Chains A and B, each alone.
Chain A
């Protein structure tokens, strides 16, 4: 069945249990799906845009209130919606990073953090990991090294609370404390936290909190949030001061790093429509971890399988090593590595890269208990069917 022309109907989440590590937290709520139908047209949230003509000031639909609610949800002072977490990184880097400035990221940072710094001519230095965890001690040592190398401290530090590779938790609060001793502003990357678990930016001491709408806030892509403190808001959300030379035009209260307005239609309305449920669901994170651990334990019961992420798990995104289990089967199976994704597909499970049997990631976020049990049972059944030891 086709949606339009060559575009197939997408039914991954209706026909399968989807365990794609980057998709599960961004699945729309029923409310967002309905709002998206009504607000699909281009500038649909702009019907009632009045002076001063800026997105965060629109009262109908209540975009202005949503911005305040977002800031309060993250325990920050000011928030703006952005087209994806990466655009939040870009806005902060654009504000604080000049050519040749040192910027600290971590050994597990997302590539978009790298690009946002590169785009402004900054020079990156990484905090090394220890067993895939970023510690405050390592951060302090890196800041010291960078300060010696450049003769000044880094101008910015990017920090992922839970990284995208392992779903491991890092010493965020402690690292922020260390960075602040050197007056380094810290960007908290909450792409895998904001919208799925409680985040208190103020308690963590973050200068900036960035979240991803399409990754963790049940919103269409590209969407996200950049929140900050009162102190930093005037810097990162500075307004234009330009007056053009021939026409003497000025541009009111448009914010430079936001390029004026950001999300003008379906992305924003999807975020807004999901928000009441998102605000509730973060308090059910413990239940999500219970479901996740049920699946982790099933995988651990399969001989030769190792959990590469920290254990016990603190996140639903998990990296698993099946080199000595499913990959052994793949070596002699007629479908080679594709046997595994094929066996999962036959059981109504999707989201693992076809052919992957060595080291792979999955995410159980948003499953019902029945679905988590079904997934756990399926992994074990596939192992048993192929003669792998279980127990």
Chain B
């Protein structure tokens, strides 16, 4: 949820067109990777 919050703030800072500069894209990429990793952990711990 905290990672989604970081994405939410990014959306706010770039509203309304949400065009990310290279640094923004890099940050977004890192956050999304972390979310994917956290989802994998949750999937493993909750569903197995």
- Report the bound CA distance from A34 to B12 in whole Å: 15
A13 at the B interface (CB under 8 A): yes
Question: Is B11 a contact partner of A14 (Cβ separation < 8 A)?
Answer: yes
Cβ proximity bits B1-31 to A, threshold 8 Å, 1 near / 0 not: 1100110110111111100000000000000
Measured CB to CB, the nearest residue on chain B to A350 is B16
Contact of B6 among A16, A30, A348 (CB under 8 A): A30
Asked if A306 is at the interface (CB within 8 A of a chain B CB), the reply is no
Q: Decide: B13 and A17 in contact? CB cutoff 8 A.
A: no
Majority SS at the chain A contact face = helix
**A374 CB to nearest B CB, Å:** 8
Please determine whether B12 and A13 come into contact, CB atoms closer than 8 angstroms: yes
Residues on the B chain within 8 Å of A33, using CB: 5, 8-9
Query: Are the C-beta atoms of A30 and B5 separated by less than 8 Å?
Result: yes
A29 and B13 alpha carbons, distance in the complex (Å) = 11
Please report the C-alpha to C-alpha distance between residue A45 and residue B37 in the assembled complex, in whole angstroms: 31
**A371, B16: Cα distance in complex, Å:** 8
The number of residue pairs between A and B whose CB atoms lie closer than 8 Å in the complex comes to 39
Does residue A248 face the partner (Cβ distance < 8 Å to B)? Answer: no
The reply to whether A30 and B15 form a contact with Cβ atoms under 8 Å apart is no
| B2→A14 contact, CB < 8 A | no
- Count chain A CB atoms within 10 A of each CB in B1, B9, B15 and give the residue with the most: B15
Chain A residues near B13 (CB-CB < 8 A): 368
Chain B contact surface mostly: helix
Query: Is A15 part of the contact surface with B, judged by Cβ < 8 Å?
Result: yes
B5–A14 CB distance below 8 A: no
For window 340-367 of A, CB contacts with B under 8 Å fall at: 347-349
Chain A residues with Cβ below 8 Å from B12 are: 13-14, 27
* Complex CA–CA separation, A34 to B4 (angstroms): 10
Pair B15/A13 contact, Cβ less than 8 Å = yes
Contact A371 B15 (CB under 8 A): yes
A14 touches B8 (CB 8 A): yes
Cα–Cα, bound, A198→B11 (Å):
28
Given contacts A34-B2, A37-B1, A37-B2, whether A16 and B8 have CB atoms under 8 Å apart is no
Q: List 30 A-B contacts (CB under 8 A).
A: A13-B12, A14-B8, A14-B11, A14-B12, A14-B15, A16-B16, A17-B15, A17-B16, A27-B12, A29-B9, A30-B5, A30-B6, A30-B8, A30-B9, A33-B5, A33-B9, A34-B1, A34-B2, A34-B5, A37-B1, A37-B2, A37-B5, A347-B16, A348-B15, A348-B16, A348-B17, A368-B14, A370-B14, A374-B16, A374-B17
Give me 13 other A-B pairs in contact (C-beta within 8 A), A14-B8, A34-B1 excluded: A13-B12, A14-B11, A14-B12, A14-B15, A15-B16, A17-B16, A27-B12, A33-B8, A37-B1, A348-B15, A370-B14, A371-B15, A374-B16
